[in-house]
Structures are given as structure tokens and as C-alpha cells.
Amino acid sequence: MINLCGFAVSNYYNKTKLVLLEKGIAFTEEQVFPSQDEALLKRSPLGKIPFIETEQGSLSESQVILEYLEDTYPENPLYPVDAFQRAKVRELIQHLELNIELHARRLYREAFFGGAVSDEVKNEVRESLEKGLKGLARLVKFSPYIGGDSYTAADIVAWLHFFMISATCQKIYGTDLLAEYIPNYVSYMEFIETRPAVQKVAADRAVAMDAFLKK
């Protein structure tokens, strides 16, 4: 059985968890926090989360895990059969994670965890986010899913990152940049949140976030 290691405040932990749920894969959860402890480094090479443990060994990096699960458990596929359409799903994921969420992450310290970020960083991030969101607007379809008529791994990634990016922008900039550049995203989020697996992850995330902030 798959053992999912990490904690439910992490978008990338929740990405892996939602993949497992949507594909109907049996798994256990173990709460693990990032560290440089030698025992953790034997399980995750950089001490990062999430990682999974399988009968063959451990795997880190959420996108690697996602594609391993897709290859190993072909039931309930999260990628199209057609090679080009599979690539389009990967394109959306890459764009969301590297060109948008990676920049927004620089603001999480102030947006969620009581820290502070300089005005210089806020300005840099806003410029990068606006550029990334303009690019994303050229890719999304919302017909009704982000890439077309099928629910895919790109929807999992989009739902998770849209939540964090929207909340971050509202707290840091006082405006929802997502709504400015991707005006259909609100109804899309409501649509995705009708899925039982998504509701489960959202509920567990809320509990974990509340516990984390109380610490």
C-alpha cells in the first residue's frame, strides 16, 4: 500500500493526495514535516514533502509521484490517451506551477504565516504573476474542465493553486489578480468542488491549516 508522507497544509501534499483519491488507490497518511534530520533524508533526499513510500522504495517530487501513480495504476486515468493532448495537460501543469505558483510562493510567509515580505519582492512577484496569468488565460478552456471536456491532472493542480494564489493576492495586494486575468475561474472552482474527492481534500486542508496556525 502507498504511504503518503507530509502534511495537509502543503499544496503539493494535497496534489498527491487528490490524485490518490481520484484514482481510487488505497493509501495511508503519515504526518511528516520538512527537515534536515538524517532519518528524514534517508526517506526524502532533500528533506522535503510530500514523498510516498511504496513496496519498491520511496519517491519524492509531486509531479514525479503523479506520473508514477498514473503509470502504475491505469484505472481512472488523469491524462488523455492521445499523445498531444497528454502534452497539453503537462503544459498546463508546468505553466501553473513554474510560471505562477512558484512566484506566489514568495509571498506566503506574509500572506499566511505572520512573516513580512519587502515591497520590492511584492512588486517583483506581482509583475511575474500578471505575466504568468496572461499566459494561462491563453491556454485555459473551461469547457467545462481547464483543458477541455475531461477531468485531468491539470484540474487537480489548478484547483489547488488557484485557491492559494487568489487568497495570497487578496491579502497582499487587496485584489484578486486571478479574477482580473481569468474571469471564469470562480465558477470553475465551484464546479470542481462538487467532486467528493475534492471536498475531502478541502475539508482536511482546513483542519490542518487551523491546527498549524494555532501552533
Q: Are 145 and 104 in contact (CB under 8 A)?
A: no
pLDDT of residue 211: 83
Whether domain 83-214 has CATH 1.20.1050.10: the reply is yes
Classify strands 51-54 and 27-31 as parallel, antiparallel or unpaired. Answer: unpaired
Quick one: which of 66, 176, 190 has its CA closest to 129?
A: 176
Alpha-carbon gap, residue 206 to 179, rounded angstroms: 23
Q: Which DSSP state fits 27?
A: E
Task: Give the Å distances, CA to CA, from 89 to 69, 102, 142, 160.
Answer: 16, 18, 13, 15
Q: Where are the domains of the chain?
A: 2-72, 83-214
Pair 153, 89: CB distance under 8 Å: yes
Q: What is the pLDDT of residues 76-88, one digit of tens each?
A: 999 999 999 999 9
What is the residue-averaged pLDDT of the chain?
Answer: 96
Q: How far, in Å, CA of 111 to CA of 101, rounded?
A: 14
| Model confidence pLDDT, tens digit, residues 83-117 | 999 999 999 999 999 999 999 999 999 998 889 99
CATH number, domain 2-72: 3.40.30.10
CA distance 11 to 50: 9
Write the CB contacts of 201 (distance below 8 Å, at least 6 apart in sequence): 8, 14, 17, 18, 21
Instruction: For residue 127, give the C-alpha cell.
Output: 509583475
Mean predicted confidence (pLDDT) in 180-191: 96
C-alpha cell at position 79: 491524462
Give the amino acid at 115.
G
Residue 215 has pLDDT above 80, yes or no: no
Sheet holding 2-6, edge to edge: 27-31, 2-6, 51-54, 57-60
pLDDT at 151: 98
Q: Is the pLDDT of residue 163 over 90?
A: yes
Is the pLDDT at 191 greater than 90, yes or no? yes
